[in-house]
Amino acid sequence: MSPALIAMLPFIGALLPGLLVRSGRSVAATACGTTTLVALLGLLLHSPAIMRGEVITARFDWLPMIQLNANFRIDGLALLFGILILGIGLLIITYARFYLSRKDPIGKFYTYLMLFQGAMIGIVLSDNILLLLIFWELTSLSSFLLIGYWRHLPAGRQGARMALAVTGSGGLAMIAGMLILGQIAGSYDISDILNAREAIQSSPHYTTALVLILIGAFTKSAQFPFHFWLPHAMAAPTPVSAYLHSATMVKAGLFLMARLWPVLAGTEQWFWIVATTGLVTMLLGAVIAAFKDDLKALLAFSTVSHLGLITMLLGFGTPEAAVAAVFHIINHATFKAALFMSAGIIDHETHTRSIARLGGLRRLMPITFAIGTIAALSMAGIPPLNGFLSKEMMLYEASHLEQARQGFMVVATIAALFSVGYSLRFIFHVFLGPQRDDYPHHPHDPGFGMWAGPALLAALVILIGLFPNTMAGWLVDASASAVTGEVQNSDIYLWHGVNAALIMSMIAIAGGALLLRLHSPLLAAWEAAPRPEAKTIFDALVLRLVRGGRALTDNLTNGSMPRALAAFTLATLFCGGLAWYTGEAGPVTRPMLPIEVVPFIGWLLAIIATGCMVFFHRIRVLALVLIGIVGLMVSAFFAYFSAPDLALTQISVEVVTVILLLLALNFLPKRTLTDTPSVRRGWDAFIATLAGLGFGGLTYAILRRDFAFPTISDYQLANSYKGGGGDNVVNVILVDFRGYDTFGEITVLGIAAIAIFALTQTLLQGRSSRRLRNWVHEQRRAGDRHPLMLVIATRVILPISLMVGIYIFLRGHNLPGGGFIAGLVVAIALLMQYMASGYAWAQDRQALPYHALIGAGVVAASVTGIGAWFNGLPFLTSAFGYFKLPFIEEFELATAMGFDLGVFLCVVGAVMLALNSLSRIARHAGETVNVKPMDIDLSDEQTREAQ
Amino acid sequence: MELLVASAVGAMTAAGIYLILRLRSFAVVLGMTMLTYAINAFLFASGRLVVHLPPILRDHSGTVPPDTYTDPLPQALVLTAIVISFGMTAVVVMMALGAFIEGGDDHINMPENDRIMPPLKTIDDSPAEDETA
Among candidates A158, A699, A717 on the partner chain, residue whose Cβ is nearest the Cβ of B124 = A158
The percentage of residues in chain A with a pLDDT greater than 70, rounded to a whole number, is 96
The answer, yes or no, to whether residue B133 has pLDDT greater than 80, is no
Among candidates B82, B84, B115 on the partner chain, residue whose Cβ is nearest the Cβ of A559 = B115
The answer, yes or no, to whether residue A938 has pLDDT greater than 70, is no
The answer, yes or no, to whether residue A933 has pLDDT greater than 80, is no
DSSP designation for A69: E
The answer, yes or no, to whether residue A151 has pLDDT greater than 90, is no
Q: At which of A476, A492, A517 does a domain end? A: A517
In a domain, B59, yes or no: no
Give chain B's largest Cα–Cα span.
Answer: 76
Contact A98, A459 (CB under 8 A): no
pLDDT given for residue B101 in this prediction: 86
In a domain, B93, yes or no: yes
CATH of the domain at B28: 1.10.287
pLDDT given for residue B131 in this prediction: 37
Domain that holds residue A916: 727-947
Is any Cβ of chain A less than 8 angstroms from the Cβ of B60? Answer: yes
The percentage of residues in chain A with a pLDDT greater than 90, rounded to a whole number, is 28
DSSP designation for A233: G
pLDDT given for residue A931 in this prediction: 62
The answer, yes or no, to whether residue A587 has pLDDT greater than 80, is yes
Q: Which residue has the higher pLDDT, A888 or A820?
A: A820
Instruction: Report, as an integer, the average pLDDT of A374-380.
Output: 91
C-alpha span between A157 and A135 (Å, rounded): 23
The answer, yes or no, to whether residue A847 has pLDDT greater than 80, is no
The answer, yes or no, to whether residue B129 has pLDDT greater than 50, is no
Instruction: Report, as an integer, the average pLDDT of A827-852.
Output: 83
Residue among A408, A402, A413 nearest A277 (CA): A408
Residue among A81, A64, A61 nearest A4 (CA): A61
| The pairing of beta strand A68-74 with beta strand A891-894 | unpaired
Domain count, chain B: 1
Instruction: Report, as an integer, the average pLDDT of A351-358.
Output: 84
Please give the backbone phi and psi of residue A880, each rounded to the nearest 5 degrees, phi first: -155, 160
CB pairs under 8 A between A and B: 344
Helix, strand or coil, per DSSP, at residue A122: helix
The answer, yes or no, to whether residue A361 has pLDDT greater than 70, is yes
The contacts of residue A899 (CB under 8 Å, 6+ apart) are A735, A739, A742, A743, A819, A860, A861, A864, A865, A876, A878
Q: Which residue of B has its CA nearest to A711?
A: B71
Helix, strand or coil, per DSSP, at residue A46: coil
Measured between CA atoms, how close is A678 to chain B, in angstroms? 12
CB contact under 8 A, B10 and A759: no
Please give the backbone phi and psi of residue A152, each rounded to the nearest 5 degrees, phi first: -80, -10
CB contact under 8 A, B18 and A700: no
The answer, yes or no, to whether residue A890 has pLDDT greater than 70, is no
Domain count, chain A: 2
pLDDT given for residue A935 in this prediction: 65
pLDDT given for residue A401 in this prediction: 79
Which pLDDT band, with edges at 50, 70 and 90, does B128 fall under?
Answer: very low
Instruction: Report, as an integer, the average pLDDT of B78-87.
Output: 91
| The pairing of beta strand A68-74 with beta strand A56-63 | antiparallel
The answer, yes or no, to whether residue A735 has pLDDT greater than 80, is yes
- DSSP conformation letters of B43-111: HHHTT---SS--SB-S--SS---TTSS--HHHHHHHHHHHHHHHHHHHHHHHHHHHHHHHHSS-B-SPP
The answer, yes or no, to whether residue A363 has pLDDT greater than 50, is yes
Q: At which of A485, A517, A549 does a domain end? A: A517
Mean pLDDT lowest for which of A780-784, A917-921, B53-57? A780-784
Contact A601, A581 (CB under 8 A): no
The answer, yes or no, to whether residue A70 has pLDDT greater than 50, is yes
Residues in chain A closer than 8 A to B101 (CB atoms): 667, 763, 768, 771-772, 921
The answer, yes or no, to whether residue B122 has pLDDT greater than 80, is no
pLDDT given for residue A62 in this prediction: 83
Strand partners, A883: A891
Residues in chain A closer than 8 A to B104 (CB atoms): 771
Chain centroid to CA A519: 48
CB contact under 8 A, B21 and A565: yes
CB contact under 8 A, A728 and B56: yes
Among candidates A664, A693, A734 on the partner chain, residue whose Cβ is nearest the Cβ of B80 = A734
The answer, yes or no, to whether residue A945 has pLDDT greater than 70, is no
Contact B38, B9 (CB under 8 A): yes
In a domain, A70, yes or no: no
- One-letter amino acid at A481 equals S
Residue among A134, A117, A127, A147 nearest A248 (CA): A117
What's the number of CA atoms in the CB half-sphere (13 Å) around residue A733?
A: 24
Contact B48, B71 (CB under 8 A): yes
Residue among A583, A671, A578 nearest A624 (CA): A671
pLDDT given for residue A553 in this prediction: 84
Q: Which residue has the higher pLDDT, B67 or A461?
A: A461
Q: Which residue of A has its CA nearest to B73?
A: A713
C-alpha span between A561 and A550 (Å, rounded): 17
Residue among A126, A153, A122 nearest A140 (CA): A122
In this structure, the dihedral spanned by the alpha carbons of residues A496, A500, A503 and A507, taken in order and rounded to 10 degrees, is -140
pLDDT given for residue A749 in this prediction: 92
C-alpha span between A506 and B97 (Å, rounded): 84
Contact A667, B101 (CB under 8 A): yes
pLDDT given for residue A940 in this prediction: 55
* Residues A456-482: b if buried by 16+ CB within 10 A, e if exposed: bbbebbbbbbeebeebbbebbbbbbbb
Among candidates B13, B50, B51 on the partner chain, residue whose Cβ is nearest the Cβ of A695 = B13
pLDDT digits (tens, 9 = 90+) for A592-606: 888 899 999 999 999
Instruction: Report, as an integer, the average pLDDT of A818-829.
Output: 91
- One-letter amino acid at A257 equals M
C-alpha span between A409 and A335 (Å, rounded): 24
Cis-peptide into A105, omega within 30 deg: no
C-alpha span between A488 and A442 (Å, rounded): 51
The answer, yes or no, to whether residue B123 has pLDDT greater than 80, is no
DSSP designation for A357: G
The answer, yes or no, to whether residue A758 has pLDDT greater than 50, is yes
- DSSP conformation letters of A268-318: HHHIIIIIHHHHHHHHHHHHHHHT--BHHHHHHHHHHHHHHHHHHHHHH--
C-alpha span between A437 and A406 (Å, rounded): 50
CB contact under 8 A, A752 and B87: yes
Cis-peptide into A849, omega within 30 deg: no
- Element of type H or E holding A154: helix A154-185
The contacts of residue A525 (CB under 8 Å, 6+ apart) are none
pLDDT digits (tens, 9 = 90+) for A707-731: 888 888 888 888 888 877 788 888 8
Q: Which residue of A has its CA nearest to B78?
A: A646
The answer, yes or no, to whether residue A669 has pLDDT greater than 50, is yes
Measured between CA atoms, how close is B132 to chain A, in angstroms? 16
Classify the phi-psi angles of A499: left when phi > 0, otherwise alpha if psi is within -120 to 50, otherwise beta. beta
pLDDT given for residue A657 in this prediction: 92
C-alpha span between B69 and A720 (Å, rounded): 13
- Answer positive or negative: Cα dihedral of A850, A851, A854, A858: negative
Is any Cβ of chain A less than 8 angstroms from the Cβ of B129? Answer: no
In a domain, B39, yes or no: yes
In a domain, A343, yes or no: yes
Classify the phi-psi angles of B62: left when phi > 0, otherwise alpha if psi is within -120 to 50, otherwise beta. left
Instruction: Report, as an integer, the average pLDDT of A472-482.
Output: 84
In a domain, B108, yes or no: yes
Q: What is the mean pLDDT of chain A?
A: 86
In a domain, B61, yes or no: no
The contacts of residue A497 (CB under 8 Å, 6+ apart) are none
In a domain, B45, yes or no: yes
Instruction: Report, as an integer, the average pLDDT of A893-897.
Output: 77
C-alpha span between A875 and A866 (Å, rounded): 6
The answer, yes or no, to whether residue B132 has pLDDT greater than 50, is no
pLDDT given for residue A775 in this prediction: 78
The answer, yes or no, to whether residue A887 has pLDDT greater than 90, is no
pLDDT given for residue A835 in this prediction: 82
Q: At which of A489, A517, A545 does a domain end? A: A517
Is any Cβ of chain A less than 8 angstroms from the Cβ of B118? Answer: no
Residue among A205, A175, A172 nearest A188 (CA): A175
The answer, yes or no, to whether residue A692 has pLDDT greater than 90, is yes
Q: Which residue, among A646, A673, A702, would best test binding to B if mutated, counting the most B CBs under 10 Å from its CB?
A: A646
pLDDT digits (tens, 9 = 90+) for A38-52: 999 999 998 888 888
In a domain, A214, yes or no: no
Burial class (CB in 10 A: 0-12, 13-18, 19+), A488: buried
pLDDT digits (tens, 9 = 90+) for A896-905: 788 889 999 9
CB contact under 8 A, A753 and B24: no
Instruction: Report, as an integer, the average pLDDT of B56-85.
Output: 85
In a domain, B34, yes or no: yes
pLDDT given for residue A227 in this prediction: 85
pLDDT given for residue A763 in this prediction: 86
pLDDT given for residue A889 in this prediction: 65
In a domain, A675, yes or no: no
Is any Cβ of chain A less than 8 angstroms from the Cβ of B57? Answer: yes
Residues in chain A closer than 8 A to B24 (CB atoms): 672-673, 675
Instruction: Report, as an integer, the average pLDDT of A553-567.
Output: 86
Q: Which residue has the higher pLDDT, A357 or A636?
A: A636
- DSSP conformation letters of A415-478: HHHHHHHHHHHHHHTTTSS---S--SS------HHHHHHHHHHHHHHHHHHHSHIIIIIHHHHH
Domain that holds residue B23: 2-52+71-132
Q: Which residue of B has its CA nearest to A698?
A: B6
Write down the ipTM of this complex.
Answer: 0.91
Instruction: Report, as an integer, the average pLDDT of A829-837.
Output: 85
